[in-house]
Amino acid sequence: MIISLGILAISIFAGFFGALLGLGGGVMLVPALTLLFGIDIRYAIGASIVSVIATSSGAAAAYLRDGFTNIRLAIFLEVATTLGALVGVVLSSYLKSDVLFVLFSLLLLHSAYKMWRSDEPGAEDQIKRSPSRWAAKLGLNSQYPDRASASEVPYLVHEIPIGFLIMFGAGILSALLGIGSGVLKVMALDSVMKLPIKVSAATSNFMIGVTAATSAGAFFWRGDIIPQVAAPVAIGVLIGAHWGAKLMPRISGQILRRTFVFVLVLIGVQMALRGVGLE
Amino acid sequence: MESKWRFGGWDLNKFNNKFSQIEETISSVLRIGVYVCGLIITAGWVLGLCYGKFYAWSELQSGFESLRLEPPLNSLLQGLLQFDPNTLMNLGLMALIGLPMIRVGATIWLFVRLKDYLFILLATWVLIVLVFSYWYKAF
């Protein structure tokens, strides 16, 4: 009973930050379930997949209603992610995941440094850049509500082909490393495609549930999603995601960005340790 | 809040009203789905806590190969009739994992309403991959 309630409490926390930053809760949940509660890694990963879907579903309704999610962009990039996941499944028998963990961690730490150094472009700066031909053709440019000015802030989507390629890579990594690729998605949307951080978090939230669902079926039918562990995780994450999605429109993009950089460093270190076998 | 922008070759006013109405409908469908899944999972979890129908945590911590569950689909109906907590939780989790499919399905409907044929095609591809990967290990 106490363990169940402990898992519930940690999951509320994971869901809250997962929804706020557009990440799955797995980053926090897997270490918590294995280190604090001693749960077998397979069931911890199974529960973390559920947490990603719960975070995504819990927050997506609110972000859609509030107009933060760019559905067209999410679906367009999800094509790349699903293609990548299929390639990743094929590659998984040829590649060593240890090396990939180290490379991935270096990429995360480098991106954290770059994001820390550069501030979010203001609305005027954002639309001053020359518009992408692809974004215009596909109708990806959009707008999001800004509470402070009580108006819609327009934004352009940049670097569509590079963003598509990164999402393809994110799909491969998800399949190879068994990770939710929310962190890579937010990073690509923010740093490469130059979306406002709130739109990046909401759009990533929409996408991570779909990406996680592609592998969740296999986990579920294989018996790796144990209801006793996954149920308190799902309940906690749904509660946390609800509150995270409520808070996101109220906080400044800069705070959100800095929090994301902090989490990026944590995940980078965690991945590096995993890569060198010190998990 | 009304959009006053036209940029990047894309007139935001053109689709905004229709798009946001449909987005709100999808949002409501999702919210109902989340509540229903959450309620089923919570019911099973509370029942399990009350009646102690859980595995010992020591077994969960050791990997418990011997307790590996049979595919939930086989025991679903029987467990539901017996109001078994694990079956209720499994049912809720199964529905929760299926929610992204509903989300993508609803998005296809959105693009159909907008007569946006390229995006109907893209979203359908995503849905096909999702449905296939969800069910291919089930039987």
pLDDT tens-digit profile of B51-80? 766 665 555 555 555 445 555 566 667 777
- Residues 6 or more apart from A52 whose CB is under 8 A from it? A18, A24, A25, A26, A180, A182, A208, A209, A211, A212
**Which of A87-91, B54-58, B123-127 is least confident?**
B54-58
Phi and psi (nearest 5°) for A36? -80, -40
Q: Is A229 exposed, middle or buried (0-12, 13-18, 19+ CB in 10 A)?
A: buried
Distance from CA of B33 to the nearest CA of A (A): 9
- The confidence band for A58, taking pLDDT boundaries of 50, 70 and 90, is confident
Out of A121-130, A219-228, A248-257, B108-117, pick the least confident: A121-130
Interval A167-179: pLDDT, tens: 998 888 777 766 6
Which one is predicted more confidently, B37 or A213?
Answer: B37
Asked if A19 and A59 count as a contact pair (C-beta separation under 8 A), the reply is yes
d(C-alpha A53, C-alpha B94), whole Å:
11
pLDDT at A177: 67
pLDDT over threshold 90, residue A188: no
| Pairing assessment for the beta strands A142-146 and A151-155 based on DSSP bridges | antiparallel
Lowest-confidence range among A40-44, A261-265, B55-59? Answer: B55-59
Which of A162 and A152 is assigned the larger pLDDT?
A162
Give the closest-approach CA distance of A166 to chain B in angstroms: 17
Cβ-nearest to A210 among B20, B37, B126: B126
- The mean predicted confidence, pLDDT, of chain B is 74
Over residues A71-77, mean pLDDT? 92
Q: How many Å apart are CA A144 and CA B23, to the nearest integer? A: 13
Tokens of A277: 């076998």
Q: How confident is the model at residue B25 (pLDDT cuts 50, 70, 90)?
A: confident
The closest CB to that of B86, out of A136, A227, A234, belongs to: A227
Q: Residue B73: its pLDDT value, please? A: 61
Does residue A241 have a pLDDT over 80? yes
Taking residue B136's Cβ as centre, other Cβ atoms within 10 Å add up to 11
Contact A56 B100 (CB under 8 A): yes
